[in-house]
Chain A
Amino acid sequence: MVVCQVTLGIVLLVLWQGASGRLIDNFFISNPVDVGTRLVGWLKDGSLFVHIWATVYATVMGFIVGSVGGILLGIWLGVSPFTSRLLNPYLSALNALPKVALAPLFVLWFGLGIESKIALAAVLVLFLVFLNTYAGVREVDQDLIDGARLMKATRVQVITKVIIPSATSWMFAGLKISVPYALIGAVLGEMIASNRGLGYLVQFSGSQFDSAGVFAVLLVIALLAVVLNFLVEIVQYRMQQWRVVGR
Chain B
Amino acid sequence: MINLRHVSKTFRKQQEEVHAVRDISLTIAQKEIVAIIGPSGCGKSTLLNMIAGLYPPTSGSIIYKGERVADVNTDVGYMTQKDNLLPWRSVRDNVAFPLELSGVKKSERATRADQVIAHVGLEGFAHRFPHELSGGMRKRACLARMLLYGAETALLDEPFAALDAQLKLSMHDLLLRLAAETGQTVVFVTHDLMEAVTLADRVLVCTRRPASVALEQRIELARPRDVLNVRFTNEFKELYDALWERLRVEYHEERL
Interface residues of A (CB under 8 A from B): 141, 143-144, 146-154, 157, 161-162, 165-166, 168, 243-244, 247
Instruction: Check B102–A150 contact: CB distance below 8 A.
Output: no
Instruction: Check B98–A146 contact: CB distance below 8 A.
Output: no
Q: Quick one: CB contact mask for B76-104 with A, threshold 8 Å, 1 for yes?
A: 11101010101110000000011011100
Instruction: Check A150–B101 contact: CB distance below 8 A.
Output: no
B72 within 8 A of A: yes
B111 within 8 A of A: no
Instruction: Check B84–A147 contact: CB distance below 8 A.
Output: yes
Instruction: Check B78–A161 contact: CB distance below 8 A.
Output: no
Contact partner of A143 among B74, B76, B80, B88, CB < 8 A?
B80
Complex contacts, A146 vs chain B, CB 8 Å: 54, 72, 84
Contact partner of B84 among A144, A152, A153, A165, CB < 8 A?
A144
Known: A150-B74, A150-B78. A161 touches B100 (CB 8 A): yes
Instruction: Check B87–A247 contact: CB distance below 8 A.
Output: yes
Instruction: Check B84–A141 contact: CB distance below 8 A.
Output: yes
Instruction: Check B149–A151 contact: CB distance below 8 A.
Output: yes
Would you mind naming 8 contact pairs between A and B with Cβ atoms under 8 Å apart?
A143-B80, A144-B84, A147-B78, A151-B101, A165-B88, A243-B129, A244-B88, A247-B87
Q: Quick one: CB contact mask for B133-158 with A, threshold 8 Å, 1 for yes?
A: 00000000000000001000000000
CA distance A150 to B86 in the complex (A): 14
B20 within 8 A of A: no
Q: State the Cβ distance, B49 to closest chain A Cβ, in Å.
A: 9
Interface centre among A143, A147, A168 (most CB of B within 10 A): A147
Where chain B touches its partner, the secondary structure class is loop
Known: A161-B101, A247-B131. A150 touches B88 (CB 8 A): no
> What 6 additional pairs, Cβ within 8 angstroms, besides A152-B74, A247-B88?
A148-B101, A151-B101, A153-B101, A161-B97, A161-B100, A165-B88
CB nearest to B88 among chain A residues: A165
Which chain B residues numbered 42 to 84 have a C-beta less than 8 Å away from chain A? 52, 54, 72-74, 76-78, 80, 82, 84
Complex contacts, B82 vs chain A, CB 8 Å: 143
Known: A146-B54, A150-B78. A157 touches B101 (CB 8 A): yes
CA distance A149 to B76 in the complex (A): 11
Q: Count B-side interface residues using an 8 Å CB cutoff.
A: 22
Instruction: Check B86–A144 contact: CB distance below 8 A.
Output: yes
Complex contacts, A243 vs chain B, CB 8 Å: 88, 129
Known: A162-B86, A243-B88, A247-B87. A150 touches B97 (CB 8 A): no
CA distance A165 to B78 in the complex (A): 22
CB nearest to B142 among chain A residues: A147
Which chain B residues numbered 172 to 225 have a C-beta less than 8 Å away from chain A? none
Question: Closest 8 interchain pairs by CB?
Answer: A147-B84, A151-B98, A143-B84, A149-B72, A152-B74, A153-B101, A165-B88, A150-B78
Instruction: Check B76–A150 contact: CB distance below 8 A.
Output: yes
CB nearest to A246 among chain B residues: B88
Q: State the Cβ distance, B51 to closest chain A Cβ, in Å.
A: 11
Q: State the Cβ distance, B78 to closest chain A Cβ, in Å.
A: 5
Interface centre among B77, B97, B131 (most CB of A within 10 A): B97
Complex contacts, B102 vs chain A, CB 8 Å: 152
Contact partner of A152 among B52, B54, B98, B129, CB < 8 A?
B98
Known: A162-B86, A243-B88, A247-B87. A147 touches B101 (CB 8 A): no
Q: State the Cβ distance, A111 to closest chain B Cβ, in Å.
A: 44
Known: A143-B84, A144-B86, A247-B87. A150 touches B77 (CB 8 A): yes
CB nearest to B82 among chain A residues: A143
Complex contacts, A149 vs chain B, CB 8 Å: 72, 74
Contact partner of B86 among A157, A165, A168, CB < 8 A?
A165
Q: State the Cβ distance, A153 to closest chain B Cβ, in Å.
A: 5
CA distance A151 to B77 in the complex (A): 7
Complex contacts, B86 vs chain A, CB 8 Å: 144, 162, 165-166
Instruction: Check A151–B87 contact: CB distance below 8 A.
Output: no
CB nearest to B100 among chain A residues: A161
Instruction: Check A151–B97 contact: CB distance below 8 A.
Output: yes
CB nearest to B74 among chain A residues: A152
